[in-house]
Amino acid sequence: MVQVDIAQLSGECNSWREQLRRFREEFIQDENQLRQVAGKPLSKEQLQDVEHLHNQFHIQLINIHDLKQSIKNHDRKMNFEKMAFNGTVNEESLADHESLLDEYQSLEQTLTDLRAEFSDFLNRTK
């Protein structure tokens, strides 16, 4: 068992989940915007881009959901350990926290790249 500031770790989890919620809301709006663009006359290449972006939004929304659930479960486990073990968390939970941080940062980069890709697509279709 390791003595750590569980409130800080829990706060990080909440921050990650909130940012993922914002990404989810943004990508839902982007999907709607993509549908509007898809209704316009587009070249074959642009239609392929629409399909690609639609698929990416779908995949990334699933990834957001899955990571949010993993973070939520991890946070619950840490809070259980805090109550059960007098404010301590086991080392496995700390390792899980670091792993989730890595997953979060990786997904955040992927989502940022997708955001830029979509923005570039919109600029090309104006």
CA distance 49 to 118: 9
Look up the pTM and report it.
Answer: 0.92
Question: Is residue 81 within 8 Å of 70, Cβ to Cβ?
Answer: no
CA distance 23 to 56: 13
Pairing of strands 2-3, 88-89: antiparallel
CA distance 28 to 121: 16
Total domains, the chain: 1
Containing structural domain, residue 19: 2-124
H/E stretch holding 88 reads: strand 88-89
Mean pLDDT by 10 residues, the chain (126 residues): 75 97 98 96 96 98 98 95 82 94 98 98 93
